[in-house]
């Protein structure tokens, strides 16, 4: 399973890259706003900075919701850097745009997926990735992880190439469950990735080893 980091924060992207576990980055307009990145040129420059840090795919979201606007924005984003994946919302014109991008060899990430039917449509349109938002489904008392299993079953039934990019993962167990259910990629905040490191028995064991070494080497 690939690990993408879900942030536009350059320091956090660099930290995940330095850990040697990073395969890509996802951003969205809210994450860019959180970092204070606004204005067309600054946004494009920021995507370039992200591409310089990480080797893998970098999702950059379009703002337009009409077909012509999505194509225009998506083409500009794709021309920016070969690592850019155009992130397109799951709306009717977005679906048509995903087909257009697929026919023109431009990779896409269909975002805001909340049902198996939406994922199926995006895969049929030729999306490179679908992004089911598991945390936001959990927020409304719906089993987000079940959506990962449902999409996995459907994509395997029909051998779709579209990859499942589990999004809106909020904690380490989301990551583990996505791995168990066969998500191709999980995108998560750095805090959730770092939390995978922790186990109290690791801390206790290390403390004991270091104490015994110190006793034997006085």
Looking at the Cβ atoms of 132 and 215, the one nearer to ligand E4P is 132
Q: Which entry of 34, 87, 215, 218 is annotated as an active-site residue?
A: 87
Interface size with ligand E4P, residues (CB under 6 A): 12
Q: Which residues between 83 and 142 bind ligand E4P (CB under 6 A)?
A: 111, 131, 133, 135-136
Q: Which two tokens stand for residue 83?
A: 């690592």
Q: Smaller CB distance to ligand E4P: residue 173 or 206?
A: 173
Q: Residues 6 or more apart from 118 whose CB is under 8 A from it? A: 90, 110, 130
Contact status: 168 vs ligand E4P (CB under 6 A): yes
C-alpha 215/C-alpha 209 separation (Å) is 10
- Tell me whether residue 180 is one of the annotated catalytic residues: no
Q: Is 176 within 8 Å of 198 (Cβ atoms)?
A: no
Q: Which of residues 17-46 bind ligand E4P (CB under 6 A)?
A: 26, 28
Element (H, E) at 190: helix 190-195
- We find the least distance from the C-beta atom of residue 187 to ligand E4P, in angstroms, to be 5
C-beta of 101 vs 133, nearer to ligand E4P: 133
Min separation Cβ 133 and ligand E4P, Å: 5
Q: Could you tell me where the DSSP H helices lie in 38-171?
A: 40-53, 67-80, 92-103, 116-124, 134-139, 144-158
């Amino acid at each position: 399973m690939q690990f993408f980091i879900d942030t536009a924060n350059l320091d956090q992207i660099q930290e995940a890259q330095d850990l040697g576990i990073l395969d890509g980055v996802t951003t969205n307009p809210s994450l860019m706003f959180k970092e204070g990145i606004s204005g067309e040129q600054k946004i494009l420059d920021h995507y370039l900075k992200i591409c310089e840090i990480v080797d893998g795919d970098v999702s950059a979201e379009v703002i337009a919701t009409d077909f012509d606007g999505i194509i225009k924005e998506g083409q500009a984003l794709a021309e920016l850097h070969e690592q850019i994946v155009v992130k397109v919302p799951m709306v009717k014109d977005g679906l048509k745009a995903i087909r257009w991008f697929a026919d023109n060899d431009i990779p896409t990430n269909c975002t805001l997926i909340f049902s198996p039917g939406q994922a199926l449509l995006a895969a049929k349109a030729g999306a490179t990735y679908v992004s089911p938002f598991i945390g936001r489904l959990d927020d409304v008392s719906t089993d987000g992880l079940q959506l990962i299993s449902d999409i996995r079953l459907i994509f395997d039934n029909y051998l779709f190439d579209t990859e499942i990019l589990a999004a809106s993962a909020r904690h380490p167990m989301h990551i583990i469950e996505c791995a168990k259910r066969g998500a191709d990629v999980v995108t998560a905040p750095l805090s959730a990735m770092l939390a995978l490191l922790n186990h109290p028995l690791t801390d206790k064991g290390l403390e004991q080893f270091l104490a015994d070494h110190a006793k034997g080497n006085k």
